[in-house]
Amino acid sequence: MNRYIATCKTKLIFHVKLFFSSQFNILRFFQERYDMAQTFAEKVIDFNQQLSFTGNFPEGFQVINPFLDNPETMEVMRAFYRKYYNDNRKRRFLIGINPGRHGAGVTGIPFTDTKRLESACGITMQSAHTHEVSSVFLYDMIEAYGGTVRFYKDFYINSPFPLAIIRRTNGGSWRNANYYDDPALFEAVKGFMIDSLKLHIALGLDTCEVFVLGKKNAEFIGRLNDEEKLFEKLTVLE
């Protein structure tokens, strides 16, 4: 009898383990199918819809989150990514500094002011009209590459701190700021930047070689990469 009970117990344990193992594999299968079914565009849109920085900035600095400030920003952002990223292609990563207040700080699209959004991308924003110098530079490069369709098919642009930062001047006005302009500012956003880069990679980016805009930006991205081992190679673009 004892031997029979022991045998039954062994079989029961085996089937329980098999059941939970199967359940895990089924859940993993559906998770993988879900990830495959979700396009690059929808992943970026999800990222932006949940984007929020709740840390504390040093005195004199503020963050601009256009997705909270203007409902139309969310609309044009969705339209942009669904137009150019509605697939599952692996893309190369072009890393900026942080958005400007007249570019992605308004449109929600890196290096894209409302002028370029309309003239180059064919998407009109009614509630704002902006001009950002860095947007002119980038879209000249995109045009030289072969245009928006070809460029965005191969590249994804974003920043380790994907929200605009502004700094109050002595005169009381506000101007664009970079995350590395002040040591205390960098320390305040460092953890957020690392998490952000990891989330960008999870979208489906090629990490063998990434392209970093600006020497100083590359210096700080290099520090983060030394700590976290995110990318195999950093190529600096000036």
Do 112 and 22 share a structural domain? no
Domain count, the chain: 2
- d(Cα 140, Cα 13) in Å, to the nearest integer? 65
Do 43 and 28 share a structural domain? no
pLDDT for position 53: 92
pTM of the complete model: 0.82
**Integer angstrom CA distances of residue 111 from 115, 117, 135, 190:** 11, 10, 5, 22
DSSP 8-state symbol, 160? S
Q: 133-158 pLDDT, tens per residue?
A: 889 999 999 999 999 999 999 999 99
Do 127 and 27 share a structural domain? no
Phi and psi, residue 82, nearest 5°: -70, -25
Do 224 and 118 share a structural domain? yes
Do 159 and 143 share a structural domain? yes
Domain CATH number, residue 199: 3.40.470.10
Q: 182-237 pLDDT, tens per residue?
A: 999 999 999 999 999 999 999 999 999 999 999 999 999 999 999 999 999 999 99
pLDDT bin (cut points 50, 70, 90) of residue 172 is confident
The secondary structure of 122-143 as a DSSP string is ----SS-----HHHHHHHHHHH
Do 104 and 19 share a structural domain? no
pLDDT for position 35: 58
Task: State which residues form the domain around 211.
Answer: 38-237
Do 156 and 85 share a structural domain? yes
